[in-house]
Each structure stands twice: as structure tokens, then as C-alpha cells.
């Protein structure tokens, strides 16, 4: 089933905002078996919107429209939809009571301009919006479904998830579709592809795999589609189990997990505490850990040891190691991890020291060289990595790699080659 997306509003056309809505909508639609034919961004101009609507309806059976539903004069979507469908606005009591409640929660009276947001085209079904004042609108005209929704991302997402996507699946009797994503770190896309090649080749019809690579991580999305829900689910679960076994220790989580969330759950579950000793990552590991609400239960803090002086004075790194091996070295990063465990009295620690770039590289230690250590109170493991030439990407890659090594230490799946038992 073909879909067209129309985004209305000058903000996108002047480049003031990037249209992230369309990509999110396209993903969600694809995951439910709908495909997007065209995305058009048009200005707040009546004639332009009318043309876009009829062009889209000539190519697709579903037209999703975002934007132009605010209470100000620029926002002309509703009036234009009335003109397009040759109808008029009528006042919707249910939508008005939603608006009243929203204003009441914020301690305000509904203003006249906001009252007008309860007026909707006579031929639409209102889609109640629990998180904003603009209702969604569902039109079914001449075999085409048109849906108009606000452009504010979280309002659009709320309406898509709570009503529009389920209604579309039902209306078009879409096949049953399942998705599951495995999140991997520490293995490149091509090696991963080799590892799972035979399994992938043998996938039954209706089940397929997509590789979604990003900086220092690859997501594997398994998708299944079929008429018979039970048969599909059984087949899908069996393939997912096989894939999990193949990916093994490289898989850190599933679907919407993040490394900091998984690590937090492991630490919390084991009732253990963590600290960080960061040089080249400059606080980004700690910053990731503290993105998670409630992290104070397991994350005690850290030392950002950007200068060698801080490494020596706070973390008890030996000056002779610094002189002999340099700051970017195994003994130094191991001492940093051990030092912060002692200093902050925690169970586990992560330490980094590297050449983030763009300057500071040498023949021996080029830009992108990073030593990472993870340690418990009794063991320390350190490994050298060579990332790339780009400073921010190096910091990002070192951060993810360090978090993932810590996860593997907690799960007992670290490689033993380079292990030091204290």
C-alpha cells in the first residue's frame, strides 16, 4: 500500500528545521508493510497545498499531512482541507474538552485563538491528542485516506502510535508484521556479515535482515511478514534465537536499549558501583552513564584526568610509567582504572587514554590510538584500539567501546588474552 507524506510549513523550506518527522514516519510505516512513494515539503500557501494534495492522492491511497495546525494566522491547513473537500469547519465538543483539560493542567484559561483549535472540517473523524492542543483528523474520501496531524514531533508520534498506525493496519487489512533489532558493538559490519552469512542465506521467505551501521555499532533488524500470525511468530522466534547465538557476546541489547541503560541494569542488578577515569573521552563516558534516570544508585562519579598532573596526583599513575611509556599506554590506563576504584571506593571502573586528534599523533601512536581499561577490585583488562582521524567520532567510538567492555566484564564474556589479575 502506497503512502505520500506532505509536510506543511515554511520552517522546513527556509532550512530552519530539519525534517526528522518524515524519516520517523517512513520507518514506522515500512515496519507495518506500507511504503512511502514521495515526501513533499510545501509552503503555508493555499494553492500550493491544494496542488500537493491532489498530486499525492493521484499516486497513493494514503496521504499523511503534518504541520500548519497551530492557532496562529500562518497555520492554514484546516481551512485549506475544507476547501479541498468542499466542506466547512464545525465545533467539536470532545476536542474542546481535551483543550480545556490541557490548559487547566497548566493553570491557564483557554484563549480565543486556542478555542478555534476545536473547530474541525465537518467530514473528518477527530483523532484525540492527549499531549497537545491540535487534534488529528482522519478523512476517507473517494477511496483515499487523508490524515492531518500537528508538526510538533512528539505530538505527531503520539497520534501515529496511539491511533493512526493501528487504524491504517486495520483499514487496509495489512499482513501481520514483526520486527526485532539486535544491537551489536565491537565487531565490524563485514565481519558480522561473514559470521552470519550461511544463516542469512537460509532465511525462509517472509523473513529478512537489515544492517543498520552507525559510529562503532551495527544494529541488525530482523523483519517478518505473513498472513498466519502464529506460524510467522514461531518461525520468527526460531530464527531470532539462531541469530542471537551467532552474534553472541557482541550483542549488548535489543530494540531501544542503549549501552548505558544495559550497563546500569547489570550494575543495579548486581548491587555494584561504577566510576570512570577519563582522559581522551573527556567526560563523555560519565555523561552517557548519567543520561539514565536513577543512575545515582550505581554511578558514584569519576575523575577527568586530562592532564598528566591529574593522572599522577589523583589516580596514583606513576610518573615513571608516564615517562617510559607515555600517557597513551597499557600501564597508564590500567593504573587509572585501579586508581579510581581505590579513590572513589567503587566495585568497577572504566579508564581511557588516547589520541583523539586532529593533532598529537605520532608514527608509533597515530591519531585514533586509544587504550581502554576496565577493572574490578581484583582484575584489570586493557586493550588498544585504533579508531579513525575524526576527533568527535574517535571520542564517540572510544566511549561505546569502553561501555561495552565493561558490560562484557560484568557478563563474564571478556576475552582473556590480555587479562591482568592483580
Identify the CA nearest to 415 among candidates 249, 188, 183: 249
Site for a copy of itself in 171-230 (CB under 8 A): 212
Contact characters 231-270, a copy of itself, x per CB under 8 A: ----------------------------------------
As measured in angstroms, the least distance from the Cβ of 51 to a copy of itself is: 9
In this chain, which of 89, 144, 215, 304 binds a copy of itself, going by CB under 8 A? 304
As a whole number of angstroms, the distance between CA 102 and CA 269 comes to 38
Report yes or no: 4 and 42 within 8 Å, Cβ to Cβ.
no
For residue 120, the SS3 value is strand
Cα angle value 252/254/258 (rounded, 5°): 65
Contacting range for a copy of itself; rule: CB under 8 A; set: 104-112, 127-135, 191-199, 350-358: 350-358
As a whole number of angstroms, the distance between CA 263 and CA 275 comes to 12
C-alpha cell at 6: 506532505
As measured in angstroms, the least distance from the Cβ of 26 to a copy of itself is: 3
Report yes or no: 263 and 185 within 8 Å, Cβ to Cβ.
no
CB closer to a copy of itself out of 58 and 320: 58
In this chain, which of 180, 272, 300, 377 binds a copy of itself, going by CB under 8 A? 300
- DSSP per position, 122-171: TTPEEE--SSSSPPEEEEEETTEEEEEE-SSHHHHHHHIIIIIHHHHHHH
Contacting range for a copy of itself; rule: CB under 8 A; set: 87-95, 222-230, 305-313, 328-336: 305-313
As a whole number of angstroms, the distance between CA 6 and CA 394 comes to 38
In this chain, which of 127, 243, 305, 333 binds a copy of itself, going by CB under 8 A? 305
Contacting range for a copy of itself; rule: CB under 8 A; set: 10-18, 62-70, 164-172, 262-270: 10-18
C-alpha cell at 256: 531501544
Contacting range for a copy of itself; rule: CB under 8 A; set: 87-95, 197-205, 283-291, 409-417: 283-291
C-alpha cell at 286: 560519565
When asked if residue 68 is in the footprint of a copy of itself (CB under 8 A), the reply is: no
The contact set with a copy of itself (CB under 8 A) reads: 12-20, 22-30, 35-43, 48, 52, 55, 212, 276, 278, 281-287, 289-291, 293-296, 299-307, 309-310, 313-314, 343-345, 356-359, 391-392, 395
Amino acid at each position: 500500500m502506497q503512502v505520500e507524506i506532505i509536510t506543511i510549513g515554511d520552517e522546513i523550506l527556509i532550512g530552519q528545521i530539519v525534517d526528522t518527522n518524515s524519516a520517523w514516519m517512513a520507518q514506522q510505516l515500512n515496519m507495518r508493510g506500507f511504503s512511502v512513494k514521495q515526501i513533499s515539503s510545501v509552503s503555508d500557501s493555499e494553492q500550493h497545498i491544494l496542488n500537493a494534495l491532489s498530486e499525492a492522492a493521484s499516486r497513493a491511497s494514503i496521504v499523511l499531512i503534518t504541520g500548519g495546525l497551530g492557532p496562529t494566522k500562518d497555520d492554514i491547513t484546516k481551512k485549506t482541507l475544507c476547501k479541498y473537500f468542499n466542506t466547512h469547519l464545525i465545533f467539536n465538543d470532545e476536542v474542546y474538552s481535551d483543550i480545556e483539560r490541557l490548559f487547566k493542567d497548566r493553570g491557564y484559561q483557554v484563549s480565543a485563538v486556542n478555542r478555534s483549535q476545536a473547530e474541525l472540517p465537518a467530514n473528518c473523524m477527530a483523532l484525540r491528542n492527549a499531549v497537545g492542543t491540535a487534534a488529528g483528523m482522519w478523512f476517507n474520501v473517494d477511496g483515499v485516506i487523508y490524515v492531518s496531524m500537528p508538526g510538533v514531533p512528539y505530538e505527531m508520534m503520539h497520534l501515529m502510535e496511539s491511533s493512526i498506525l493501528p487504524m491504517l493496519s486495520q483499514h487496509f487489512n495489512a499482513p501481520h508484521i514483526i520486527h526485532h533489532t539486535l544491537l551489536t558493538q565491537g565487531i565490524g559490519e563485514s565481519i558480522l556479515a561473514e559470521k552470519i552469512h550461511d544463516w542469512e542465506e537460509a532465511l525462509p521467505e517472509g523473513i529478512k535482515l537489515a544492517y543498520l551501521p552507525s559510529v562503532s555499532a551495527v544494529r541488525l533488524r530482523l523483519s517478518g511478514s505473513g498472513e498466519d500470525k502464529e506460524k510467522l511468530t514461531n518461525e520468527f522466534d526460531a530464527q531470532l534465537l539462531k541469530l542471537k547465538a551467532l552474534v553472541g557476546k557482541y550483542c549488548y541489547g535489543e530494540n531501544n536499549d542503549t549501552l548505558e541503560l544495559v550497563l546500569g541494569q547489570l550494575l543495579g542488578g548486581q548491587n555494584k558501583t561504577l566510576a570512570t577515569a577519563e582522559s581522551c573521552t573527556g567526560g563523555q563516558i560519565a555523561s552517557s552513564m548519567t543520561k539514565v534516570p536513577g543512575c545515582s544508585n550505581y554511578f558514584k562519579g569519576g575523575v577527568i584526568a586530562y592532564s598528566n598532573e591529574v593522572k599522577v596526583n589523583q589516580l596514583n599513575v606513576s610518573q615513571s610509567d608516564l615517562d617510559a611509556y607515555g600517557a597513551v599506554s597499557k600501564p597508564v590506563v590500567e593504573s587509572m582504572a585501579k586508581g579510581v576504584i581505590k579513590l572513589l571506593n567503587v566495585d568497577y571502573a572504566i579508564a581511557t587514554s588516547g589520541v583523539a586528534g586532529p593533532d598529537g599523533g605520532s608514527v608509533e601512536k597515530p591519531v585514533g590510538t586509544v587504550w581502554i581499561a576496565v577493572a574490578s577490585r581484583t582484575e584489570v583488562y586493557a586493550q588498544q584500539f585504533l579508531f579513525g582521524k575524526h576527533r568527535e567520532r574517535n571520542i564517540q567510538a572510544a566511549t561505546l567501546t569502553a561501555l561495552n567492555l565493561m558490560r562484557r566484564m560484568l557478563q563474564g564474556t571478556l576475552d582473556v588474552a590480555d587479562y591482568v589479575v592483580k
